[in-house]
């Protein structure tokens, strides 16, 4: 009975976090579906990042969760340099918008598949970028925390992408 | 032993959610501290909401968590009509920017004080706007979920407010 309760609490937490992540994805995908390619490649506000850059940025950051959560290797490691380490309008060869959208969907589908196979306890383990020493002191910095943090990050940029409408 | 584990899991999860909420508040307060009154009252992007409107909006939504989480009455119920039900540039008498900032801080301090007195189990109870029937079917729609959702909402508008810089 106690064990079931523990299990069920953890599953409930995980469900809350994944549901909130899916909600942001759903909103972003809904927005992408409404925008023309021309709208997506425009700047979200004068002299700010373009929608395409932000889509690449979000794709790279979500892709980065795969190794950070200990699930595997990044699908598109080349995106980090273009969309995270460097600003928009840098002189890099970039994926086309059609490719970017495909990458975005593939990263999210891959994460969803990984998540559905994770055991509840795995979410409460340290992510791969925190030392055992720090985790002992701050046990809330687990994998679930990473997903929550990245969900907020997505919401932040969604607030900007909405200006493309 | 089992009971301690349950307690500790719940507390850990609550800490994750509250820490993420505090992080958004910290970022927003850091931004507010860097902006002049003139900057805050400007539009975040051409023909979009003003920073002051968004600050009022976030204050009203955070204030709304007080009754939604069953903690008490709203501190500033009049904000709902001005900043949630109606758009920016509506013809209402509004608080001054100095007042708004004071309201924002007071709402957050009040929420923090309530949160520090909440028992872990309270967070896993239904919020006040969900029926018992719906909660039985979707037990993840608890008070903690509300705070996570409002944290994402704050991140969303923070992504817009940053353009005031």
pLDDT at residue A3 is higher than 70: no
ipTM of the complex as predicted = 0.94
Among residues of chain B, what percentage have pLDDT more than 90? Answer: 92
Tens-digit pLDDT profile for residues A75-89: 999 999 999 999 998
User: Would you state the pLDDT for residue A6?
Assistant: 41
The reply to whether residue A19 touches residue B140, judged by beta carbons under 8 angstroms, is: yes
CB A78 within 8 A of CB A126: no
pLDDT at residue B123 is higher than 50: yes
pLDDT at residue A4 is higher than 60: no
CB B162 within 8 A of CB A54: no
Who contacts B93 (Cβ-Cβ below 8 Å, separation ≥6)?
Answer: none
User: Would you state the pLDDT for residue A2?
Assistant: 40
From the list A146, A86, A79, the residue with the least C-alpha distance to A111 is A146
Q: CA-CA distance, B134 to A29, in Å (whole number)?
A: 27
Q: CA-CA distance, A105 to A33, in Å (whole number)?
A: 12
Task: Calculate mean pLDDT across residues A24-42.
Answer: 98
SS3 B62: helix
Tens-digit pLDDT profile for residues B53-73: 999 999 999 999 999 999 999
**Closest Cα in chain A to B155:** A156
User: Would you state the pLDDT for residue B103?
Assistant: 98
User: Would you state the pLDDT for residue A9?
Assistant: 83
Please give the model's pTM, rounded to 2 decimal places.
Answer: 0.95
> Could you tell me the end-to-end alpha-carbon distance of chain A, in angstroms, rounded to an integer?
52
User: Would you state the pLDDT for residue B89?
Assistant: 87
User: Would you state the pLDDT for residue A84?
Assistant: 97
Task: Calculate mean pLDDT across residues B119-145.
Answer: 95
Residues of B in contact with A148 (CB under 8 A): 16-17, 20, 148
Q: CA-CA distance, B35 to B40, in Å (whole number)?
A: 6
Q: CA-CA distance, A150 to B31, in Å (whole number)?
A: 20
From B20, B139, B144, residue closest to A149, measured CB to CB: B20
pLDDT at residue A5 is higher than 70: no
pLDDT bin (cut points 50, 70, 90) of residue B7 is low
Among residues of chain B, what percentage have pLDDT more than 70? Answer: 96
User: Tokens for B124?
Assistant: 């896993």
Select the more confidently predicted residue: A116 or B8: A116
CB A34 within 8 A of CB B162: no
Residues of B in contact with A140 (CB under 8 A): 12, 15-16, 19
In the predicted model, what is the mean pLDDT of chain B? 94
Task: Calculate mean pLDDT across residues B127-151.
Answer: 95
Q: CA-CA distance, B35 to B41, in Å (whole number)?
A: 10
pLDDT bin (cut points 50, 70, 90) of residue A7 is low
From B24, B45, B140, residue closest to A152, measured CB to CB: B24
Q: b/e string for A59-95 if b means 16 or more Cβ within 10 A?
A: bbbbbbbbebbebeebebeebbebbeeeeeeeeeeeb
pLDDT bin (cut points 50, 70, 90) of residue B5 is very low
Select the more confidently predicted residue: A91 or B67: B67
pLDDT at residue A121 is higher than 80: yes
What is the nearest CA distance from A100 to chain B, expressed in angstroms? 22
Q: b/e string for B122-132 if b means 16 or more Cβ within 10 A?
A: bbbbbbeebee
Task: Calculate mean pLDDT across residues B148-162.
Answer: 98
| HEC per residue, chain A | CHHHHHHHHHHHHHHHHHHHHHHHHHHHHHHHHHCCHHHHHCECCCCCCEHHHHHHHHHHHHHHHHHHCCCCCCCCCCHHHHHHHCCCCCCCCCCCHHHHHHHHHHHHHHHHHHHHHCCHHHHCCECCCCCHHHHHHCCCCEHHHHHHHHHHHHHHHHHHHHHHC
Tens-digit pLDDT profile for residues B73-122: 999 999 999 999 999 988 889 999 999 999 999 999 999 999 999 999 99
């Amino acid at each position: 009975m106690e064990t079931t309760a523990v299990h069920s609490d953890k599953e409930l937490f995980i469900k809350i976090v994944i549901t909130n992540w899916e909600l942001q994805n759903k909103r972003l995908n809904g927005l992408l579906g409404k925008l023309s390619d021309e709208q997506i490649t425009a700047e979200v506000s004068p002299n700010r990042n373009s929608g395409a850059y932000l889509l690449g940025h979000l794709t790279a950051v979500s892709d980065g969760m795969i190794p950070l959560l200990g699930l595997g290797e990044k699908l598109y490691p080349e995106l980090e340099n273009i969309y995270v380490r460097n600003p928009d309008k840098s002189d890099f060869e970039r994926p086309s918008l059609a490719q970017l959208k495909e990458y975005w969907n593939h990263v999210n589908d891959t994460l969803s598949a990984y998540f559905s196979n994770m055991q509840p306890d795995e979410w409460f383990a340290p992510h791969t970028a925190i030392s055992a020493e720090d985790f002992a002191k701050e046990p809330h910095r687990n994998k679930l925390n990473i997903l929550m943090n990245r969900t907020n990050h997505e919401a932040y940029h969604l607030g900007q992408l909405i200006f493309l409408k």
